[in-house]
Structure 1
Amino acid sequence: MPRLINTKAQQYLMQSAAQLPITQDWFNTDFWHQQNAIKGTGTGRGDVWFIDSQYGKFVLRRYRRGGLIAKLSKRHFMFAGIHRTRPWQELSLLEVMRNQGLPVPQPIAGMCRINKGFYQAELLTATIEGATDLFELIKQQQNDQLNWNEIGRVIALFHQAGIFHSDLNCHNIMIDNTGKVWLIDFDKCQQRKRDTSWMQNNLDRLKRSFDKEATKYPEFTVTDEQWTALLAGYHG
């Protein structure tokens, strides 16, 4: 489990297994800008910064809401105890998965700031060296170079461990320069009893993400043969 390393009034700083001199400054983008350590940005289930520092390479993600409720509040979540916050739960799940040998980023630390019963939060994980998300690889028309069978096999490993990924899509599957397949972004995910219903829903969500991106980008194409190969790897 993560451990609290600094608890002040209305502020929680939590650290995972990594032994690093982490302070609240690590969750402030200005701190990394001053060191010229921010090497890129991204989006997803939050705002994302890619950091290359003297302490290592990290991904800093700021949690934000999606859907209609985001119109009311993009970054505020109801506080019901530190163990129920998004960074605590995601760090905990990442530790469980790492201990089971699943290919996920190394958890580093998280931060929560509470105000009037609501909190804002960030998460730090280690960068997956040499990795590109599946969306970019397909968009770059590298389909034929991908091992679709292996992608399906890795998804099956998570399902066999009872890992429900609430947002399995082509942006949250990474492939590094050795061909290893990784899953990322475990916000609102959980370990649960294995059931074919939620497992199939995960696969359906992934297929919908392929179809959605194909309507937006003419160069983005996943053939029926490639999807069939992914399913063959999944079912073993």
Structure 2
Amino acid sequence: MPQPIKVSSNTFLLKSDQNQPLTTSWFDPEFWQSQKALTGTGTGRGEVWFINSEFGRFVIRRYRRGGLIAKFNKRGFLFTGQQNTRPWLELSLLEHMRNLNLPVPKPIGGLYTLKKGFYKAELLTETIDHAEDLFDLIKSDKKDQIAWQEVGKVIKHFHTSGIYHSDLNCHNIMIDKQGKVWVIDFDKCEQRTPDPSWMQSNIDRLKRSLDKESGKFSNFYVSEKQWQAFLEGYHG
């Protein structure tokens, strides 16, 4: 479990990597920019910043709300206890998955700040070096090098370990230069008893994400043969 550190009356650090000298500044992109360590930004379920520092290579993710409510409240979440906060839940799940030797990013820490019964939060994880997401690989000239059977095997490993990914899509699966498959972004994900129904719905979600991107980008295409290779890997 992450180690909670009270920084002020309304600010709390959650520390997963006990070897890092974690401070609130580590969750501030402007701090890293002043250190000339900010190397890029991205988007996903939250705002994302990439850090290359003397302490290591990290990703900051700022939790944001989705859906209609985001028009009125972009970052505030109702506070119902520290162990129900988004960073606590995600860090705890990442620590658990690392103990199971699942290929996920190393958790570093989290930060949340309280105000009038709501909190805002950030997460810090270690970068997966020399890796690209499945979306970018499919669009690139490396698409024929994707080991779809291996991707299927890895997703099955998560499922048989009881890990439900609430947003399994082609942006949250990464492959590094050694061909190792990783899974990222575990906000709102959870441990479940393995069951064919949710496991199949997870696979269906991934397939829908591939079909959706295929309809949006002319250079994004997954053949039936490639998808069958994924299924062969998944079903063993």
The TM-score with structure 2 as length reference comes to: 0.98
Equivalence for 1:137:
137
Query: After the TM superposition, which of the residue ranges 93-102 and 62-71 deviates more from structure 2?
Result: 62-71
Equivalence for 2:105:
105
Equivalence for 1:8:
8
Distance in 1 between residues matched to 2:28 and 2:144, nearest whole Å? 41
Contact 1:141 1:220 in 2 (8 A): no
Superposed, 1:2-81 pairs within 5 Å as 2-81=2-81
Amino acid in the other structure paired with 2:181: V
SS in 2 for 1:8: coil
SS in 1 for 2:130: coil
Deviation of residue 70 (structure 1)? 1.2
Amino acid in the other structure paired with 2:32: W
1:172 aligns with 2:169: no
SS in 2 for 1:179: coil
Distance in 1 between residues matched to 2:20 and 2:225, nearest whole Å? 46
Q: Deviations over 1:61-99 (max 9, x none)?
A: 000011122112111100011110000000000000000
Query: After the TM superposition, which of the residue ranges 66-75 and 185-194 deviates more from structure 2?
Result: 66-75
Deviation of residue 2 (structure 1)? 0.4
Instruction: Please identify runs of 4+ aligned residues in structure 1 that moved more than 3 A.
Output: none
What are structure 2's unaligned runs of at least 5 residues? none
Equivalence for 1:208:
208
Distance in 1 between residues matched to 2:117 and 2:235, nearest whole Å? 45
Distance in 2 between residues matched to 1:222 and 1:141, nearest whole Å? 13
Equivalence for 2:222:
222
Amino acid in the other structure paired with 1:230: F
Amino acid in the other structure paired with 1:210: L
Distance in 2 between residues matched to 1:3 and 1:224, nearest whole Å? 46
Distance in 2 between residues matched to 1:217 and 1:18, nearest whole Å? 43
Distance in 1 between residues matched to 2:219 and 2:18, nearest whole Å? 40
Query: After the TM superposition, which of the residue ranges 76-85 and 1-10 deviates more from structure 2?
Result: 1-10
The TM-score with structure 1 as length reference comes to: 0.98
Q: Deviations over 1:9-36 (max 9, x none)?
A: 1111110034111111111111001011
Deviation of residue 144 (structure 1)? 1.3
Query: After the TM superposition, which of the residue ranges 88-97 and 70-79 deviates more from structure 2?
Result: 70-79
What are structure 1's unaligned runs of at least 5 residues? none
Question: How many pairs align?
Answer: 236
Percent same amino acid among aligned pairs? Answer: 61
Distance in 2 between residues matched to 1:145 and 1:228, nearest whole Å? 16
Equivalence for 2:193:
193
1:151 aligns with 2:182: no
Q: Deviations over 1:80-125 (max 9, x none)?
A: 1111000000000000000000000000000000100000000000
Amino acid in the other structure paired with 1:168: L
Amino acid in the other structure paired with 1:80: T
Amino acid in the other structure paired with 1:224: E
Q: Deviations over 1:141-194 (max 9, x none)?
A: 422111000000000000000000000000000000000000000000000111
Amino acid in the other structure paired with 2:173: I
Distance in 2 between residues matched to 1:88 and 1:219, nearest whole Å? 39
Amino acid in the other structure paired with 2:151: I
